[in-house]
Amino acid sequence: MAKLKEKLAQKIPQLRDEIKGFVKEHANKVISEVSVAQAYGGMRGVKALVCDTSVVPPDKGLIIRGTPIGELKDQLPEAVFYLLVTGEMPDNEALEDLKMDLKSRSKVPDYVWKTLEAMPKDSHPMVMFSLGILAMEKESVFKKKYNEGMKKIEYWDSTLEDCLNLIAKLPTLAAGIYRMRFNKGPRIEPDPNLDWAGDYARMLGLDDSTGEFANLIRLYMVLHTDHEGGNVSAHTCHCVGSALSDAYYAVSAGLNGLAGPLHGLANQMCLRWAIMVKDKFGGVPTEDQLRQFAWDTLKSGQVIPGYGHAVLRVTDPRFTAFHEFGSRVCAEDDLFQIVAKVFKIIPDVLREHGKAKDPWPNVDAASGCLLYHFGLTEFEYYTVLFGVSRALGMCSQLIVSRALGEAIERPKSVTTEWMKQAVAKG
């Protein structure tokens, strides 16, 4: 951490001055307008947030600090986190330093396990995950220092502390939840010699004689980290954090948004849909059977999970990375073959259906069948994996936001009556 903190301490004053000067010079320049449709339509496309960790051009997909996600797929999540926060890839020394630092913070307090054990046995794993994080809020260094009168320019430092403490514990917490919720036996303790994601894979306790499951989890943790600032989880985290709620509050809140079926829960829905296909046709269906099944889904008023996106207008490069992994590791698997066939059929079906602006697969379309292949068959758990990774992005955005001393969010809402009057005035 010392290296990461050093790097930030070196960069932040310059960044702060640059943004301050920029805002002062161009304060009144208009960058976006809002239509009636946008106000009622989820603010789609309104440019009113700043996020420097990543961008999602509709025709390219996720780019993290200038590097397309496809070029980062063989990196460790720790390196991607360093990149997200600082804008630079770590050298070997900085990466090892960060890995060791996270290892030293990975113990989850006993009171968290007791809280989770007291929950109903059928609680959704995302509720357990979000609550586990919230339960640790009393550990917040930011809150302690704030109460002691910390200066605004120091906010980023204790937020970094909170984020590292939190991120370090997530694999232990999430793996413990998996084992508790699905009766897999006692928790498995962290191994100080393993990388963050490799250890997460090990603590889940599934058989991994080839080491490919650990590789899948490393890839999974890299691909889901960040997706610019306007998606529900990132934006929620930012909004809650803007009230100077600490990282535990803010990340837990973001995860509650991730738990929705139109956002991170789609990966669970996707696999359920693929399994329904497999059960109905007793294996991999023909293209015609699959096309008919898709139409039945659409005609019953449901969405095809894993397809469409609020921003993207091409195949999600994260889907491509998972697809390539599956083609290499489990090409013969029935569910993987169904997912591959769905990719062939669905874009045309959605185009013909004529509603979705993006007929292409998103990140959730392929990840579930890979997890299933390795024996992680409890698909209610899948969004937790998404959440562990997305916490890296949410935390990075929060650290940067604190570094810049961003203001509390408070956009103006208007009534429908106001809208009608504004439209009538022309």
Query: Shortest Cβ distance from residue 355 to ligand CMX (Å)?
Result: 3
Query: Shortest Cβ distance from residue 24 to ligand CMX (Å)?
Result: 35
CA 271, CA 368: separation in Å to the nearest integer?
A: 5
Site for ligand CMX in 369-388 (CB under 6 A): none
Catalytic position from the list 224, 309, 323, 373: 309
Catalytic position from the list 208, 235, 364, 373: 364
Length in residues, the chain: 426
Site for ligand CMX in 275-314 (CB under 6 A): 298, 303-310
Query: Shortest Cβ distance from residue 368 to ligand CMX (Å)?
Result: 11
Q: Which residues contact 329 (CB under 8 A, 6 or more apart)?
A: 212, 216, 370, 373
Query: Active-site residue 364, yes or no?
Result: yes
Contact 196, 171 (CB under 8 A): yes
Each residue 314-353 as x (binds ligand CMX by CB under 6 A) or -, in order, gives ----------------------------------------
Rule CB under 6 A: is residue 263 a binding residue for ligand CMX? yes
Candidates 245, 362, 389, 396: give the one binding ligand CMX (CB under 6 A): 362
Catalytic position from the list 227, 235, 238, 263: 263
CA 299, CA 280: separation in Å to the nearest integer?
A: 18
Residue whose C-alpha is closest to residue 280's, from 270, 268, 265, 292: 292
Residue 392 burial class via C-beta count within 10 angstroms: exposed 0-12, middle 13-18, buried 19 and up: buried
Nearer to ligand CMX, 245 or 362 (CB): 362
Q: Is 64 helix (H, G, I), strand (E, B) or coil?
A: strand
Under the phi-then-psi rule, with left for phi > 0, alpha for psi from -120 to 50, and beta for the rest, what region is 61?
left
* Binding region for ligand CMX (CB under 6 A) out of 49-57, 182-190, 357-365, 402-410: 357-365
Nearer to ligand CMX, 170 or 356 (CB): 356
CA 111, CA 136: separation in Å to the nearest integer?
A: 9
* Binding region for ligand CMX (CB under 6 A) out of 57-65, 149-157, 355-363, 412-420: 355-363
Query: Active-site residue 26, yes or no?
Result: no
Residue whose C-alpha is closest to residue 382's, from 274, 305, 267, 269: 267
9-46 burial by CB neighbour count: b if 16+ within 10 A, else e? eeebeeeeeebeeeeeeeeeeeeeeeeeeeeeeeeeeb
Query: Shortest Cβ distance from residue 354 to ligand CMX (Å)?
Result: 9
Which residue number has the CB closest to ligand CMX?
Answer: 308
Query: Active-site residue 263, yes or no?
Result: yes
Under the phi-then-psi rule, with left for phi > 0, alpha for psi from -120 to 50, and beta for the rest, what region is 415?
beta
Question: Residues touching ligand CMX: how many (CB under 6 A)?
Answer: 20
Contact 368, 270 (CB under 8 A): yes
CA 234, CA 45: separation in Å to the nearest integer?
A: 16
Nearer to ligand CMX, 173 or 366 (CB): 366
Candidates 257, 264, 326, 393: give the one binding ligand CMX (CB under 6 A): 264
Site for ligand CMX in 203-262 (CB under 6 A): 262
Q: Is 207 helix (H, G, I), strand (E, B) or coil?
A: coil
Residue 126 burial class via C-beta count within 10 angstroms: exposed 0-12, middle 13-18, buried 19 and up: buried
Each residue 15-54 as x (binds ligand CMX by CB under 6 A) or -, in order, gives ----------------------------------------
Nearer to ligand CMX, 186 or 354 (CB): 354
CA-angle at 178, arms to 175 and 183, nearest 5°: 130
Task: Centre a 10 Å sphere on the Cβ of residue 89 and count the other Cβ atoms it contains.
Answer: 15
Nearer to ligand CMX, 176 or 305 (CB): 305
Query: Shortest Cβ distance from residue 305 to ligand CMX (Å)?
Result: 5
Residue type, 166: L
Nearer to ligand CMX, 149 or 354 (CB): 354
Nearer to ligand CMX, 95 or 270 (CB): 270
Nearer to ligand CMX, 106 or 233 (CB): 233
Interface positions with ligand CMX (CB under 6 A) = 262-264, 266, 298, 303-310, 355-358, 362-364
Residues labelled catalytic: 263, 309, 364
